[in-house]
Structure 1
Amino acid sequence: METSEATAGATRGGRGARERILRAAVELFTSDGIHATGVAKLADVAHVSTRTLYQHFPSKEALIGAYLQRIESDGAILGETVLDRRDLGARERLLRLFAERPTSPPSAKVVRGCPMHNAAVESAGTLPEASAAVERHKREFAARLVETAAEAGAPRPEVLGRQLAVLFEGARALATSLNDMGPLQDAEGLAKTLIEGATGPA
């Protein structure tokens, strides 16, 4: 097996094992899917034994929860960090949200879309804690869009925020289904129309 870029140079076991396991989870869950990734593969890529993996994460569900926390804290994976940029005006942040593309692990060979959304789909109600974490994040993301729309001067920010949330999430889901970045490009044009319609041209 080729050495994973997430764990290149790591020695098997030893210090830093928990971080390597989390990095392996981010890489493999995001690129290959949660159910398709077994514990043995996670341990191999993280350069730990399965015993060490279970010492840090007593179950795969516990690792999934930690994985969701990690990708949520790393907004670049979700493509949402632009909303936090204070060097851009609110309107520009909304536009940039659709212009920028989320990052993917080097091993990704297909368009995987939002890992939060994918986790909710894969869990299909069987992982209640993971589903709850995804729902909370999505609601908070929509609320951030409404807040940013208000800051941008939209007269009905709750409407614009919800519309942008639907467009952003829908485009990423369709891009995943088609394995094609085209829907993201289409969403960028539609978002510009919605934002300019609500706040006026630049």
Structure 2
Amino acid sequence: MEEYLRRFESEKSIAAEAELEREDLPPVQRLLGVFAPVGGDTALIRGCPFHNAVIEGVVGLPEVTRLAQRHKQAFRDRLAATAAEAGAAHPETLAGQLAVLFEGANALAASCNDPQAFTDARRAAEMLLDIALGAASGD
């Protein structure tokens, strides 16, 4: 399990998270890009491999738990950096909120095999971004 998770750190990234690294999009679009449904309407939604590893009972493998925690913190850090780049008033707070939306959408979509959770989360993320960016500009 450890080796499988380490591959996501070194060889390939999770598609939604890779959106944060795109240089062809402005920061707000990169933040919203993490909420794109994975694989289209007919794909089986499997969720985040790090989340799945922790909840599927690998409690006896502390290194797996550490890998998952480190990955989730790195994701929040990338969200915060992108939120700061977008000009959010409180990028760390916004990052935490977006992470909760993303993780919830990922879990619900995987549990129900329904990508609608990503659409709902994206709408909520748009509202949070409007508030955060409005606060930053003094609106």
**TM bracket (short chain):** 0.7 to 0.9
Q: Is 2:38 aligned against 1:102?
A: yes
Q: Between the two proteins, what is the percent identity of the paired residues?
A: 47
Query: 1:78 deviation in Å?
Result: 4.5
Of 74, 81, 88, the residue aligned with 1:147 is 81
Q: Do 1:78 and 1:114's aligned partners in 2 also have CA atoms closer than 8 Å?
A: no
- CA distance in 2 between partners of 1:122 and 1:89 (Å): 36
Query: 1:156 deviation in Å?
Result: 0.9
Q: Is 2:8 aligned against 1:74?
A: no
Residue type at the aligned position of 1:190: A
SS at the partner of 1:126?
A: coil
After superposition, the C-alpha distances for 1:111-166 in whole angstroms (9 at most, x for unaligned) are 21111110111134111111110110001111111111111101111111100000
Q: Is 2:135 aligned against 1:135?
A: no
Q: Which structure's CA Rg is the greater one?
A: 1
Gaps of 5+ in 2: 135-139
Q: Is 2:26 aligned against 1:89?
A: yes
- CA distance in 2 between partners of 1:181 and 1:194 (Å): 20
SS at the partner of 2:106?
A: helix
TM-score (norm 2): 0.85
- CA distance in 1 between partners of 2:15 and 2:68 (Å): 12
TM-score (norm 1): 0.60
Cα–Cα, structure 1 residues 67 and 103, in superposed 2: closer, same or farther, change >3 Å?
Answer: farther
1:125 corresponding residue in structure 2: 59
Q: Which runs of 4+ in 1 moved over 6 A?
A: none
1:41 corresponding residue in structure 2: none
SS at the partner of 1:117?
A: helix
Gaps of 5+ in 1: 1-63
1:116 corresponding residue in structure 2: 50
- CA distance in 1 between partners of 2:109 and 2:4 (Å): 23
Q: How many aligned residue pairs are there? A: 132
- CA distance in 2 between partners of 1:114 and 1:159 (Å): 22
- Backbone CA RMSD of aligned residues: 2.0
Q: Do 2:37 and 2:115's aligned partners in 1 also have CA atoms closer than 8 Å?
A: no
1:196 corresponding residue in structure 2: 130
